Amino acid sequence: MQIKPLSIEPKLLSDFDPAIFTESVSITGVCINAQRVEPGDLFIACPGQNFHGKDFISQAIANGAVAVLSDVKIDCSIPSFTHKQPRAARARGLMLQSASDVLEPLRDTRLMQGATN
Q: pLDDT 10s digit of each residue in the chain, 117 long?
A: 444 555 578 888 888 788 888 888 998 888 889 999 999 999 999 888 899 999 999 999 999 999 999 999 999 999 999 988 777 644 455 555 555 555 555 455 444 444 444
Are 41 and 102 spatial neighbours (Cβ–Cβ below 8 Å)? no
Would you kindly state where each structural domain of the chain is located, as residue ranges?
11-116
Task: Find all residues with CB under 8 Å of 76, minimum gap 6, and list them.
Answer: 57, 61, 68
Q: What is the CATH number of domain 11-116?
A: 3.40.1390.10
pLDDT of residue 5: 55
pTM: 0.72
Which pLDDT score is estimated for 13? 85
- Measured in whole angstroms, the distance separating CA 56 from the mean position of its chain's CA atoms is 15
